[in-house]
Every structure is written in C-alpha cells, then in structure tokens.
Amino acid sequence: MVDGDGTYDSSVVQSMISLVANDAVDMVVAERTLATNSVDQRVGHATGKRLISGLVRVLFRVDTRDVLSGYRAFSRRFVKSFPGTATGFEIEVQMTAHAAIVAATVRSIEAAYRERQLLTNGRSKLRTIRDGLRILFVIFRSYRQLAPTRFFGTGALLSLVTAAFALSNWPTDLQGQTAGLLTFVAGLILFSSGVVLTAITRIQRQQLRLAYLQYGATKK
C-alpha cells in the first residue's frame, strides 16, 4: 500500500517485501523521515503525528513511531482477515488496531519522505484539526473493541470516585446529593456495559484471530 503522489521513497519496497516473504512479518510500516531536499513539515501535522503515534503505541502496544504512514506491506493472512471499514486517514489506525487484535507481527523500516508541495505545487488534503479529531475517534472506538473492560472500567472508576466526592462533601445539599447519586448510577452502567461488551468482543476477536491463522505464515 502506498500513496500515489510520489512522496514516498520507492527504493525500500524490496526490503519491505523481503520482511513479509522471508521473515514472516505480517505488516511492515515505513516510518517517514524527511528527505534532504524536502521542505519542513507543517508544525500542526508534525505535532499531531507524534501525539497520535504515541497514543496508539500506549493503547495498542504496537511498536511503530509513525502510525499514520500510508506506505505499508502486508502478509496474505493479514489482508484476508482485515475488515477494512474506515475511509480516509483513519484506515492506518484501523490497520494498527487490527494488528493488535490478532497479535500480528509488525515491523518498521525508515523511508525518506518528501512533502507533497515539492512534487505537485499543491496543498495537502490533510486538515489538521478536522482529520485529527476523526482519527482520535477511530482510535478510541478501536480501543473500545480491543479492551472494553479497560475502556469502560476507567470511565466507571472516574464516575464512582466523583460520586463519592460529591456525597461526602455535600451531605446536606440536595443538588450535590442528586448529582452524586446520578454519577454513581452512571458508573454502574459503564461497569455493566464493560462486562457485557467484553464477552461479545471476545467472540469477535476470536473470529478475527481464526481468520488470520487459517492462512498460515508467509515464510517459506
């Protein structure tokens, strides 16, 4: 997979294919490094890339420093088991989440990258704030699928702590007591949702894992 605007270095493609074909790697991610003749990246883009990549590394425990890279190589079993439903810039995050769900082998390789303006004299299609928010939504939706217990459990814990604080600090205030009780109920609902979705998600993850395993490793 590669963007068609000529921004990625084609000289590393054989190394990427070799990792898949010979080392049983399921997804190779080309981590972008600015070419020597490239212009500097926009501050918003560069900062957003680092923040999102760091967040994904923590949540999904996938070791790649460039989650949004559009230059990748895949094994057959990864492609066959990947239920691609995202569009636009979110698909890279969904691929990374899928790798975590099926316990796929992921490797990174550095590749030179030139800004689009050098090649087309045009403006990037990426809108920092709008697309950043869309990507964050996909990250948390994918994390909810990967770890619903942690996702909803965190919300439940925060709700219960807030409720305990309200009930203990405003014992005679009707509004404070009402807010505390409502927050307590919200915490219980979040906890129950986490328990139910964990059971459902476990079945879905097992199905994806089986779809991934049925094709066997690429390595000969």
Statement to judge: residues 158 and 81 lie in one domain: no
Answer whether residue 60 is part of any domain: yes
Domain span at 171: 148-213
CA-angle at 111, arms to 106 and 117, nearest 5° = 125
Statement to judge: residues 130 and 171 lie in one domain: no
Q: Which domain CATH number covers 98?
A: 3.90.550.10
Q: Per-residue pLDDT tens for 17-61?
A: 999 999 889 999 999 886 544 445 555 567 777 888 888 888 888
The reported pTM is: 0.70
Statement to judge: residues 122 and 177 lie in one domain: no
Statement to judge: residues 56 and 91 lie in one domain: yes
Q: Are 150 and 51 in contact (CB under 8 A)?
A: no
Alpha helices in the chain (DSSP H): 13-23, 43-60, 76-81, 91-101, 116-120, 128-146, 148-169, 174-213
Statement to judge: residues 106 and 171 lie in one domain: no
Residue type, position 30, single letter: A
Query: Of 91, 110, 144, which residue is a domain's last?
Result: 144
Answer whether residue 177 is part of any domain: yes
Statement to judge: residues 127 and 181 lie in one domain: no
Q: Let me know how long the chain is.
A: 220
Statement to judge: residues 101 and 122 lie in one domain: yes
Q: Is 203 helix (H, G, I), strand (E, B) or coil?
A: helix
Answer whether residue 57 is part of any domain: yes
Statement to judge: residues 32 and 127 lie in one domain: yes
Statement to judge: residues 152 and 138 lie in one domain: no
Statement to judge: residues 26 and 133 lie in one domain: yes
Answer whether residue 4 is part of any domain: no
Answer whether residue 219 is part of any domain: no
State yes or no: pLDDT of 118 exceeds 50.
no
Q: How confident is the model at residue 129 (pLDDT cuts 50, 70, 90)?
A: confident
Statement to judge: residues 18 and 72 lie in one domain: yes
Q: Is 15 helix (H, G, I), strand (E, B) or coil?
A: helix
Q: Per-residue pLDDT tens for 89-116?
A: 678 888 888 898 888 999 999 988 876 5
- What backbone torsions phi and psi does residue 130 show, to the nearest 5 degrees? -60, -50
Q: Per-residue pLDDT tens for 183-206?
A: 989 989 988 888 888 878 777 778
Q: How many domains does the chain have?
A: 2
Statement to judge: residues 105 and 172 lie in one domain: no
